[in-house]
């Protein structure tokens, strides 16, 4: 077994004495692992990253990265990790190349080594053609890639990615995932990522922890988590125009039925056995099944199971989120 490269024990951050952002969080990340924190905005993901990267001091608890204590050996931690922040932190007035070299200067990497690395990294994130253009002219996806390149200039053993695709459109997001995978393959670093996109956690992470209200609710690999629900999802449509919710519910192994208008969303145990049973029951009652699909649950179902709410729903209440962010920003300053 690989060693634990990040060790976190009871890590807690309280802002202004009453705003608990992170609440006694304990977890370990193994060397080479792609570990994700999945949770809604304001769950304490960024605060955790800020503590692990020594930008914030924890109120309570301990943590170490590569064996360096985040409080007592903060400077060593900073030297061996890379951080890609949620915001676009590059200087807009400088070129991509100037930005990446500035990072190198801050890490004290000798100029000749830095130049080689910068060129290599810019090549990997496909920004070589734009390296002498001001960042001002970059698109959102390009900025993200530049941030990734900057975060890797010191060849970190651990890379922290805070919401790496925040605000990007779906296409750019999936493209960014490819860049992240490519960089991980090239340098083999351990990655700690936070995200509130389930698809992202599912696509990238070896292991995830679902975090809500500052606490880890459950952790495991995406497939473990989905399996742990012990259920499958059946979606079904019928030819007739009738409400068959109760009829489906009467079938054995069916746990939950939701009428989605022209189809039914059904949560069942043992999907392979239950699907034929449902078809059989419907036929007996004179209904014709036109479509049926059997899928494994997504992380959304996992999230719902453990937190009692949909991650998509929590994303909706933007106002509440904004208010929370402002409170948090003020508290952090």
Residues that bind another protein (CB under 8 A): 53-55, 57, 66-67, 75-76, 78-80, 83, 85-94, 98, 102-103, 105-110, 113, 150, 154-157, 329-330, 333
Residue closer to another protein (CB basis): 110 or 286? 110
Residue closer to another protein (CB basis): 102 or 279? 102
How far is 267 from 255, CA to CA, in rounded Å?
5
Residue closer to another protein (CB basis): 88 or 287? 88
Residue closer to another protein (CB basis): 73 or 269? 73
Closest distance of CB 87 from another protein, Å:
3
Q: Give the ranges where 242-317 is alpha helix by DSSP (H).
A: 245-249, 271-284, 299-307, 311-316
Closest distance of CB 148 from another protein, Å:
13
Q: What is the CA radius of gyration of the chain?
A: 23
Report which of 50, 47, 53 is spatially closest to residue 74, judged by C-alpha positions: 53
Closest distance of CB 291 from another protein, Å:
47
Closest distance of CB 233 from another protein, Å:
39
As to burial, measured by CB atoms within 10 angstroms (0-12 exposed, 13-18 middle, 19+ buried), residue 206 is middle
Alpha carbon of residue 60 to chain centroid: 25
List, in order, residues 6 or more apart from 87 with CB less than 8 Å away: none
Dig out the tokens for 132 from the structure. Answer: 């002498």
Closest distance of CB 158 from another protein, Å:
10
Residue closer to another protein (CB basis): 94 or 203? 94
Please report how many Cα atoms fall inside a 13 Å half-sphere around the Cα of residue 24, on the Cβ side.
Answer: 0
Strands 264-268 and 254-259: antiparallel
Beta carbons of 257 and 266 less than 8 angstroms apart: yes
Residue closer to another protein (CB basis): 25 or 166? 166
Closest distance of CB 50 from another protein, Å:
8
Beta carbons of 211 and 25 less than 8 angstroms apart: yes
How far is 56 from 72, CA to CA, in rounded Å?
13
Closest distance of CB 79 from another protein, Å:
4
Residue closer to another protein (CB basis): 89 or 263? 89
Residue closer to another protein (CB basis): 136 or 280? 136
Closest distance of CB 169 from another protein, Å:
21
Report which of 312, 311, 268 is spatially closest to residue 293, judged by C-alpha positions: 268
List, in order, residues 6 or more apart from 216 with CB less than 8 Å away: 25, 26, 27, 209, 210
């Amino acid at each position: 077994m690989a060693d634990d490269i990040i060790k976190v024990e009871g890590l807690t951050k309280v802002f202004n004495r009453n705003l608990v952002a992170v609440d006694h969080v304990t977890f370990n990340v193994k060397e080479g692992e792609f570990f994700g924190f999945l949770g809604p905005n304001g769950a304490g993901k960024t605060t955790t990253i800020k503590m692990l990267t020594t930008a914030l001091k924890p109120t309570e608890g301990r943590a170490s990265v590569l064996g360096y204590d985040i409080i007592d050996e903060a400077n060593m931690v900073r030297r061996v990790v890379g951080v890609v922040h949620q915001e676009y932190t590059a200087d807009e007035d400088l070129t991509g190349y100037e930005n990446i070299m500035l990072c190198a200067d801050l890490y004290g990497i000798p100029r000749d080594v830095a130049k080689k690395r910068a060129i290599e990294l810019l090549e990997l994130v496909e920004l070589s053609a734009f390296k002498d253009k001001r960042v001002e002219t970059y698109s959102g996806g390009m900025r993200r890639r530049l941030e990734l390149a900057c975060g890797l200039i010191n060849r970190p053993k651990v890379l922290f990615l805070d919401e790496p695709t925040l605000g990007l459109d779906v296409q750019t997001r999936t493209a960014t995932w490819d860049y992240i995978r490519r960089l991980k393959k090239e340098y083999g670093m351990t990655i700690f990522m936070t995200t509130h996109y389930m698809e992202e956690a599912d696509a990238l992470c070896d292991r995830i922890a679902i975090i809500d209200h500052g606490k880890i609710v459950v952790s495991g690999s995406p497939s473990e988590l989905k399996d742990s629900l012990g259920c499958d999802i059946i979606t079904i449509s019928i030819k007739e125009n009738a409400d068959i919710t109760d009829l489906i519910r009467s079938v054995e192994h069916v746990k939950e039925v939701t009428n989605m208008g022209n189809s039914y969303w059904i949560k069942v145990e043992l999907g392979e056995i239950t699907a034929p049973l449902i078809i059989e029951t419907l036929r007996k009652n004179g209904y014709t099944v036109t479509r049926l699909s059997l899928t494994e649950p997504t992380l959304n179902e996992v999230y719902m199971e453990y937190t009692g709410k949909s991650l998509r729903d929590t994303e909706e209440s933007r106002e509440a989120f904004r208010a929370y962010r402002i409170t948090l920003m003020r508290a952090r300053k």
